[in-house]
Amino acid sequence: MTNRERMQSEWEEAVQLMQSQFEKAYSTVPRYSCEDGCVLVESQAKSGETVMTRLSNFAPLIVEEVSRDNGADVLLEFAIEAEGQGGRRFPSVRIPAKSFAGMGWVLENYGAQANICAGTTKRDQLRYAIQAASTPTRRTVYSHTGWRKRNGKWCYLYNGGAIGADGLDVELEGNLSAYALPSVPDISLAESVQTSADFLNVGALRVTAPLLLAMYLAPLCEFARGDRPAFIPFVVGATGTRKTTVSALAMSHFGSFGNKQLTASFADTANSIIRKGFIVKDAPLLVDDYHPTTDYRTTENMKATAQRLARAYGDLAERGRANPDGSIRQANPPRGLCIVSGEESPDVGESGTARYYIIEMHAGDVEASEHLSTMQEKARNGYLWTAMRGYIEWLAPMADRLPERLQKLFERHRAEATKQLQGTHGRVVEAVAWLLVALDLAEAYFKENGVTISREQIEAAVIQNAADQSESMKGEKPIDMFLNALRELHATGRVHIAGLDENAAAVLVGFLKDPYLHLYPRASYGAVFDLFRTQGSRFPLGSQAIWRRMIDAGIATDHSDGQKRTKRIRRDLFEREERQVTLI
């Protein structure tokens, strides 16, 4: 090599070193280049002269392609970096791959200072140049918690990694990043399991037992293939009863949670909560702070959200939707367990209430004790999530056999609970059965780690909660609600029944013709409907539906004397104030 050639080579190497990564990338694309942060394209003028035309005053590159796997579908994202004139660097952005070709992401992310030159052709040329110049790395990111089977082996995902698999990228957005179960080397499994069992002693067993069992039930959701856990534990208590404190402490079995680090609240939209329920798979989602308010719209929004949650988790389904092109959108039903806390139970009717498992808290049920403080400190240090991590590792080898085992356990406990809770709504009985299934698994896991718990007391507490809920639900039956409201209206003189009272100035809703009351269906229903409305709630059935139920139950009969059509009810049945109507 001559001295001239050597100098030329050294000069070219120096120029190459001086080039930015953007200039180097675009120099590999024929006819395109990057100079001073601008993308240029080569073209021929009419005179035959080669000219360089600017396409933009910034030069982007796709540096990473991320396949985001949520367990139902895979969404592709691009990570983009860009350089502008004068060496200016724009912030890194992530966009859905489907948004890339339209180039609208430029203005959305970079603002007015990033400019594409006028013309549809230039826009399309810039898109081509970016793709051609980019050599992105590729990776798969999982965006949900819970069980996945990879290469024939079960693993459990959490934010930052997986139990049972190495090298998996798991990223959860926002406050869901708290779902993390990292290994804590300084904590022994036996000590962590004992700490988990000690949660039972934080307060009254009827509060702590179902909450602890809910934690150990959540990882079983994937394997409940037939009858599945389809209920929501609802912690109800007045302000100051520490319902959020004890709920957050229970949640610490799945990560770093505290009173200020909860996963969702009734201030969120229903859609966002349901979406979180899809992401939080095989784990509990805590929705906090259902509370009374004087604002009608806020009350109705919270009530509607509670109804959506009850239906979503009670039916394990999401409301069907269509895409803009008319095709059916991919459904995202809940895939874990939901826990709700609030100051009162939502007025969602008999069917909605049955989808909840009510845990009532009273003053003194959870005291501000040294034991509570110690538990909270251990939770922050990872003792509870270490116990859950050990439980998941214990479940993994038996995962393929779990569906059949869980179904048998559920059927046995459901049969036993049905006998003990006669007259209780079937959904509440099933909730009890699933909590007892979790007790079976948790007890076996505890025993293997040298920890014993009082099964009889725990089981009694779970069943007693259900019995209390069943008693309170009696007044939730629409027939009972209707007759009790009509009795109240009559007792307070707001309605008039001819022959039964002398209050002719009140609204006439029927007449007495012993031994029957003849009720005018529209007038009596209207009075009851208005009573519920003035109390800030709504009667759950329409006029025709409530009368049809009462006739089917043998409480009312149709009657007509040729001129008046009435619904006939026995007088003694109506006058049973403070009693519940028993359906036939």
**Helices 370-380 and 383-395, packing angle to 10 deg:** 60
Q: Does 13 have pLDDT greater than 60?
A: no
Q: Which pairs with CB-CB distance under 8 Å and at least 24 residues apart come from 155-162?
A: 155/396, 156/181, 156/219, 156/282, 156/392, 156/396, 157/281, 158/182, 158/254, 158/255, 159/255
Which residue's structure tokens are 């693993």?
A: 155
pLDDT for the residue 330: 62
Which residue's structure tokens are 């989808």?
A: 355
Share of residues in the chain with pLDDT > 70 (%): 91
In degrees and rounded to multiples of 5, residue 128 shows phi and psi of -60, -45
pLDDT for the residue 404: 95
Q: How many CA atoms lie within 13 A of 417 on its CB side?
A: 30
The better pLDDT of the pair 355, 67 is held by: 67
Q: What is the pLDDT of residues 241-278, one digit of tens each?
A: 999 999 999 999 999 997 767 889 999 999 999 999 99
Nearest to 55 by CA among 18, 89, 29: 29
pTM of the predicted protein model? 0.78
pLDDT for the residue 3: 61
Q: Does 171 have pLDDT greater than 50?
A: yes
Quote the CA–CA distance of 498 and 519 in Å, as a whole number.
Answer: 10
pLDDT for the residue 352: 66
DSSP-based three-state secondary structure for 118: coil
Which residue's structure tokens are 């179960």?
A: 181
Q: What is the pLDDT of residues 302-312, one digit of tens each?
A: 888 988 998 88
Share the mean pLDDT of the chain.
89
CB contact at 8 A, 365 and 154: no
Quote the CA–CA distance of 447 and 420 in Å, as a whole number.
Answer: 27
pLDDT for the residue 350: 63
User: pLDDT category, 581, cuts 50, 70, 90?
Assistant: very low
User: pLDDT category, 578, cuts 50, 70, 90?
Assistant: very low
Average pLDDT over residues 350-375: 88
Q: Does 6 have pLDDT greater than 80?
A: no
Which residue's structure tokens are 């120029």?
A: 15
Nearest to 252 by CA among 356, 378, 154: 378
Q: Does 18 have pLDDT greater than 90?
A: no
Average pLDDT over residues 359-387: 95
Domains of the chain: 3-66+75-137 (no CATH), 182-317+330-472 (no CATH), 477-574 (1.10.10)
pLDDT for the residue 579: 38
* Beta-bridge partners for 170: 142
DSSP 261: -
| CB within 8 Å of 241: residues ≥ 6 apart | 361, 362, 363, 365, 366
Q: What is the pLDDT of residues 527-561, one digit of tens each?
A: 999 998 888 777 878 888 888 888 888 889 998 87
Give the distance, in angstroms, between the CA of residue 415 and the centroid of all CA atoms in the same chain.
Answer: 30
pLDDT for the residue 8: 58
Pairing status of strand 146-150 against strand 495-498: unpaired
Q: Which helix (H) or strand (E) holds 72?
A: none
**Radius of gyration of the CA atoms of the chain, in A:** 33
Q: Does 316 have pLDDT greater than 90?
A: no
Quote the CA–CA distance of 579 and 137 in Å, as a whole number.
Answer: 71
Q: Does 14 have pLDDT greater than 60?
A: no
Quote the CA–CA distance of 147 and 157 in Å, as a whole number.
Answer: 6
The better pLDDT of the pair 5, 530 is held by: 530
CB contact at 8 A, 223 and 437: no
pLDDT for the residue 1: 61
The better pLDDT of the pair 425, 160 is held by: 160
CB contact at 8 A, 213 and 339: no
Nearest to 243 by CA among 282, 567, 251, 347: 251
pLDDT for the residue 320: 54
Q: Does 19 have pLDDT greater than 60?
A: no
Q: What is the pLDDT of residues 433-483, one digit of tens each?
A: 999 999 999 999 999 999 999 999 999 999 999 988 877 766 567 888 899
pLDDT for the residue 419: 93
Q: Is the dihedral of CA 451, 457, 461, 467 positive or negative?
A: positive
Pairing status of strand 337-342 against strand 232-237: parallel
Q: What is the pLDDT of residues 99-153, one digit of tens each?
A: 999 999 999 999 999 999 998 899 999 999 999 999 999 999 999 999 999 989 9
pLDDT for the residue 580: 39
For every residue of 129-183, DSSP letters joined together read HHHHH---EEEEEE-S-EEEEETTEEEEEETTEEET-SS-EE---GGGGGB----
CB contact at 8 A, 358 and 468: yes
Quote the CA–CA distance of 362 and 237 in Å, as a whole number.
Answer: 6
Q: Which of 195-204, 313-322, 398-407, 500-509 is least confident?
A: 313-322
Average pLDDT over residues 388-409: 97
pLDDT for the residue 510: 92
Can you list the alpha helix ranges (DSSP code H) found in 320-401? 349-354, 370-380, 383-395
Q: How many CA atoms lie within 13 A of 523 on its CB side?
A: 17
Q: Does 76 have pLDDT greater than 90?
A: yes
Three-class secondary structure assignment of 10-51: HHHHHHHHHCCHHHHHHHCCCCEEEECCEEEEEEECCCCCEE
The better pLDDT of the pair 536, 392 is held by: 392
